[in-house]
Structure 1
């Protein structure tokens, strides 16, 4: 009787198949691991926007937008919103247009000192870990391709506000963009819905701030001239 072990070719193929089945899959590196890895890399003096893009690898818009939005919901070094807001504008525009994520050199070369980046990461990691426990696939009808483009349009508007030097204009838009990012990452339509509600509130608050600033400017500049 012929057995598989009697035939070296067949025996080898079975052994290879067994190895393929039993070999453990390479664990997926999470966002937290990537951020902490960059923050602890003492070979770098500064962390550039391009470094974050490279570290994200083949991750979609959700991860990239989340990385640039999260620092704006916690106290950060001055100028952080200007560094993170501009990439968000480009990424949101590309999501709206259905393109792959890409940033021009003038933006990807912007950087923070590694120590400042490490402090930002230390503040956002607990938020990231806490929210991840709440995420799960649901209400995926809100994440159909046409809805993703609508999310891109809303995030584009929020990112423009975030990049501008508007008092109180960064926290709420950043939280809304984070909710959209989590929704895209985990196909969680509930977070997309929350992001939409927060977007409306953000626009209302920022509009009120801009109106107040404009009214005060007119009062102090134009008022004396008329008086």
Structure 2
């Protein structure tokens, strides 16, 4: 006679879905045609602040078509400001949402960033939670990233790469809950400010010397 087996509850049903890694998020970006910034944000989920910070910052590090910083700089400024003030969902004005990102720019970004992200994810993991896993920690990330985003948005010579790299590290740490990556982002932030100050001082000295020589002062 057949004996019924006792009911075994499906424990996997109660487990929360594992969050997507950044490489999966980057791969999910459609490169079939041009996208508006609004379409890109909506496809990634408006609460994915770390992923969006990374996506808007990294094109300023890698070679991409001209005009990239002009298109992605303003939404990055708005995004980092909202991280700073502790917003839980992203808001972008209609003028920014309607800006178009070209298919070529999207393809360049996805093709170049995905292999790098896959390698980085081998070492990224949740750790040093004190500097990443609280509202105060997230606001601190915004406090550092916001002025760096302003630097990216402004047409400062040689001023893009290091601030963009610092924001990308902060974004990685925020997205992957890796305090070590956040700490490295803070170090890069200090270094980028120091380099920018040195470059600005050198440009100022050069301009002053030029006008003194020109007018015989």
Cross-structure match for 1:149: 139
Deviation at 1:62, TM superposition (A): 0.7
The answer for the alignment partner of 1:10 in structure 2 is none
Q: Tell me, what secondary structure is at the counterpart of 1:184?
A: helix
Normalising by the residue count of structure 2, what TM-score does the alignment of the two structures yield?
A: 0.85
Q: What's the CA shift for 1:219?
A: 2.5
**Which stretch of structure 1 is more off in the superposition, 62-71 or 50-59?**
50-59
Alignment of 1:1-150 (within 5 A): 30-41=21-32, 44=33, 46-99=34-87, 100-143=89-132, 144-150=134-140
Contact 1:38 1:47 in 2 (8 A): no
The answer for unaligned runs of 5 or more in structure 1 is 5-13
Whichever structure has more helix as a proportion of its residues is: 1
CA 1:192–1:125 in 2, change beyond 3 Å: closer, same or farther?
same
Distance 1:190 1:21 in 2: 31
- Alignment partners' CA distance in 2, 1:153 and 1:141: 16
Greater mean deviation of Cα atoms: 124-133 or 150-159: 124-133
Equivalent residue in structure 1 for 2:178, among 145, 169, 188: 188
1:169 aligns with 2:159: yes
Structure 2, unaligned stretches of length 5 or more?
A: none
Residue in structure 2 matching 1:215, options 205, 208, 213: 205
User: What TM-score, normalized to structure 1?
Assistant: 0.82
Counterpart secondary structure, 1:38: coil
Cα RMSD over matched residues?
Answer: 2.8
Q: Which moved more, 1:196-205 or 1:119-128?
A: 119-128
Aligned equivalents of 2:47 and 2:37: distance in 1? 15
1:154-188 deviation per Cα after TM superposition (whole angstroms, max 9, x unaligned): 10011011111222211111111111111111211
